[in-house]
Structure 1
Amino acid sequence: MVSKLFTPVNIGPLTLRNRTIRSAAFESMCPGNVPSKQLLDYHHSVAEGGVGMTTVAYAAVCQSGLSFDRQLWMRPEIVPGLRELTDAVHKEGAAASIQLGHCGNMSHKSICGCLPVGACSGFNLYSPTFVRGLRADELPEMARNYGNAVRLAREAGFDAVEVHAGHGYLISQFLSPSTNHRKDEFGGCLENRMRFMDMCMDEVMKATGNDMAVLVKMNMRDGFKGGMDIDEALLVAKRLQQDGAHALVLSGGFVSKAPMYVMRGEMPIRTMTHYMDCWWLKYMVRLVGKMMIPSVPFKEAYFLDDALKFRMALPDMPLVYVGGLVSRDKIDEVLNAGFEAVQMGRALLNEPGFVNRMKAEENARCNCRHSNYCIARMYTLDMACHQHLDEELPRCLKREIEEIEKKG
């Protein structure tokens, strides 16, 4: 088959120069919750490297939606900085998207400024912290936060937004039977659990108008017993199509319950704790981290089998494949299976110019070795590949990374 990779593709009102998208892998490059030069430089490098669209990751739609102190928080004062980023991306011929979401219960008062909120009250070990369930009368305002964030994204020059409805964040917490135990009209059957998602999408679609593309990242499976599985996820996908989404990004996993289902491979626990500041958390994670974050084997295109079921069930819906793409051969296979575009995260962190290299080399493969050092470091510092650090890593971290890479 002739490769579709470097042909244009339409997502709603937006045309991309090729079918590659930098996924919304959290950069952790926004100290003080504002865009930094580092964030601009990274996304500019990916745009310069040939990508069709780059996605700025995990911007909180309001302060209570913050998970990290190095995460974007959408508000008017950051618009000029984001405009510099989108201008730089556009000069290289790429489109710019921004992922918008709310972390729900996966935060702490010291970060989000209040007792964390979620679909239900309870205790979250992820932080750890108590959590307050949102009242029904608070949900319309929470949904409006998504629309307001879209308006700010338009003002900042973004061509698209990606609504985060997966990975166990707020919308996902309403969708999943594991985290939604509500007794009102927003809990119980799937139809009720989709109501908050519908409210958010209504606000998003009103705010995007006719000139912005709307992608939604969603779970095909939550990745653990008692979570949302593929039968319900297919119904969620069909509802999102009815809600007006222009494309779906098909993912899976729950950050608080099945984190490596999202990313695959093994979490380098020693590396993660090496960068932690909190002594007791460092000790606890080192002690029980392997049990809390069990490994899930990596294989290239690890979500493809599930994603093909969505392709069959949604013949008219643009679908974006994400998950474990590191070679042109596999990307061509995915596109030829009927997906409109592909997203890459770790591959473009390892090699921002990978798309241009694929254009020059039919058998191009990036040099990511799947040690997940970048993810272990991300929770405290910026996301960075260990192969391109200026500083020398301690010997114990080098050994851990080498051991994980050998297993892969």
Structure 2
Amino acid sequence: MSAPDVFAPTTLGPVRLRNRTVKAATFEGRTPDGVVTDELIAYHRAPAAGGVGLTTVAYLAVAPDGRTHREQIVVGEHSLPGLSRLADEIHATGAAIAGQVGHAGPVANGRSNGVPAIAASAMPSPLSMQMIRTASEKDLTRVTRAYVDTARLLVRAGFDVLELHMAHSYLISSFLAPGLNRRRDRWGGPLERRARLARQVARVVREEVGDAVAVTAKVSVSDGFAGGVTTAMSIELAQLLEADGHLDALQLSGGSSLMNPMYLFRGGAPVAEFAATMPALVRWGMKTPVGRGFMKQYDFEEAYFRPKALEVRSAVAMPLMLLGGINRVETMRQAMADGFDFVVMGRALLREPDLVDRLRAGSASEGICIHCNRCMPTIYSGTRCPEWAPGQVIPAP
């Protein structure tokens, strides 16, 4: 069979998309009061108007303790009007809108949130310099219900896709990683038990939304640290989630926001710029050998997760989204030939929000992002590309 056209209309579960391109969830830095702003709408309208099929709103927390820090949106009745307005604005461009739904777990800054962080097992937080406590049965029941409530509200807001965050050492991911999950109860031990929370959340969300929206999950092909999720574990998790039948697709990512963030962001490691955005104590810590090792540098390669993602592709039949350094139209077409169903782009669209339209029209064959990663520290002041192309307008932070 011939590979599908990446720029042709398709479906994701019950949702019709104008093409197979997805704007990745990357924190926008445009919600200082934890609600939708005009700046957040402009940020997502730009790639939507630029031709992307689906744009993803980042880090919609299911609970206050699920935020990475206090400026993120907690989905609730108070944030519903803004979320509805955001969905309407994106639909007006012809694109669809996804919400990345999650609980940050150990990646949450408990000091910023004013609520203690939780994880699969207790551990010190390099973000808040506090102890993260072990999630109790009561916590897990509460969080599971919060996923259901969040899903219900996002359907009311008019979102098309719910992306469940199961990667990057967030709460669900902390259960999946054996080095972060030292439990001896029904939530720990072999992967089938460590995956209990992931499968439970996928099930209850699907039961809540039915076929009103598509439900996907972001999972890791490799966490990039000793004790993290490996590719073999990723394959086993994908097979479990496929057998359960609650998800419409998996988005294949990697790295750990807590243990090894640069495994996801290949290219330059902007240590000095990132440290400058941190509180004084964390800034000091990043100057130590341990802190410097936190931001390792990995050479950039086009489609750097492709080899590991192909292993997952060979093990399951469900739709998969390929992420990680996709900048060229030839890479997008290769992904289709490889059997992936969607391509997910982040930094390339931050640099050039209209890139998809220009790739489709043939006026460009690749993006101009240089993968310096100096966009990473800007998440605290309005995510943007410091190397913005001449003549382009940067959405105001």
Percent identity over the alignment is 35
Residue identity in the other structure for 1:242: A
Cα pair 2:96 2:160 within 8 Å, conserved? yes
Q: Does 1:342 align with 2:319?
A: no
Give the equivalent residue in structure 2 for 1:357: 358
Deviation at residue 108 of structure 1 after TM alignment = 2.8
Q: The residue matched to 1:150 in structure 2 has which SS?
A: helix
Deviation track 1:86-119 (CA, whole Å, cap 9, x = no partner) reads: 1111011111100000110222333222221111
Residue identity in the other structure for 2:22: I
Give the equivalent residue in structure 2 for 1:381: 381
Give the equivalent residue in structure 2 for 1:257: 259
Q: The residue matched to 2:143 in structure 1 has which SS?
A: helix
Residue identity in the other structure for 2:333: D
Give the equivalent residue in structure 2 for 1:290: 292
Structure 2 vs 1, CA of residues 2 and 101 (structure 1 numbering), >3 Å: closer, same or farther? closer
Say what the alpha-carbon RMSD is for the aligned residues: 1.7
Deviation at residue 69 of structure 1 after TM alignment = 2.8
Q: Does 1:165 align with 2:166?
A: yes
TM-score by length of 2: 0.94
Cα pair 2:69 2:110 within 8 Å, conserved? no
Residue identity in the other structure for 2:356: V
Correspondence 1:6-405 to 2 at 5 A: 6-243=7-244, 244-276=246-278, 278-288=279-289, 289-314=291-316, 316-361=317-362, 364-378=365-379, 380-388=380-388
Q: The residue matched to 1:386 in structure 2 has which SS?
A: coil
Cα pair 2:266 2:299 within 8 Å, conserved? yes
* Structure 2 unmatched runs, 5+: 391-397
Cα pair 2:56 2:99 within 8 Å, conserved? yes
Q: The residue matched to 1:83 in structure 2 has which SS?
A: helix
Equivalent-residue separation in structure 2 for 1:97 and 1:116 (angstroms): 26
Cα pair 1:79 1:156 within 8 Å, conserved? yes
Deviation at residue 191 of structure 1 after TM alignment = 1.4
Cα pair 2:180 2:227 within 8 Å, conserved? no
Equivalent-residue separation in structure 2 for 1:386 and 1:249 (angstroms): 27
Q: The residue matched to 1:388 in structure 2 has which SS?
A: coil
Residue identity in the other structure for 1:310: V
Deviation at residue 122 of structure 1 after TM alignment = 2.3
Cα pair 2:28 2:43 within 8 Å, conserved? no
Residue identity in the other structure for 1:258: N
Equivalent-residue separation in structure 2 for 1:351 and 1:286 (angstroms): 33
Higher helix share: 1
Q: The residue matched to 1:234 in structure 2 has which SS?
A: helix
Q: The residue matched to 1:163 in structure 2 has which SS?
A: strand
Deviation at residue 287 of structure 1 after TM alignment = 4.4
* Structure 1 unmatched runs, 5+: 391-408
Deviation track 1:312-337 (CA, whole Å, cap 9, x = no partner) reads: 111x2000001100111111111111
Deviation at residue 185 of structure 1 after TM alignment = 0.8
Q: The residue matched to 1:73 in structure 2 has which SS?
A: coil
Residue identity in the other structure for 1:292: F
Equivalent-residue separation in structure 2 for 1:342 and 1:129 (angstroms): 38
Bigger Cα displacement from structure 2, 234-243 vs 280-289: 280-289
Cα pair 1:173 1:179 within 8 Å, conserved? yes
Bigger Cα displacement from structure 2, 163-172 vs 361-370: 361-370
Cα pair 1:329 1:363 within 8 Å, conserved? no
Q: The residue matched to 2:133 in structure 1 has which SS?
A: strand
Cα pair 1:267 1:376 within 8 Å, conserved? no
Cα pair 1:328 1:362 within 8 Å, conserved? no
Deviation track 1:307-360 (CA, whole Å, cap 9, x = no partner) reads: 11111111x200000110011111111111111111101111101100100011
Q: The residue matched to 2:16 in structure 1 has which SS?
A: strand
Q: The residue matched to 2:387 in structure 1 has which SS?
A: helix
Q: The residue matched to 2:101 in structure 1 has which SS?
A: strand
Cα pair 2:375 2:385 within 8 Å, conserved? yes
Deviation at residue 363 of structure 1 after TM alignment = 5.0
Deviation at residue 372 of structure 1 after TM alignment = 0.4
Deviation track 1:235-282 (CA, whole Å, cap 9, x = no partner) reads: 111111233110000111111111111111232112113333x22322
Equivalent-residue separation in structure 2 for 1:389 and 1:299 (angstroms): 22
Residue identity in the other structure for 1:264: R
Deviation at residue 202 of structure 1 after TM alignment = 1.8
Q: Does 1:5 align with 2:6?
A: yes
Cα pair 2:126 2:282 within 8 Å, conserved? no
Residue identity in the other structure for 2:265: M
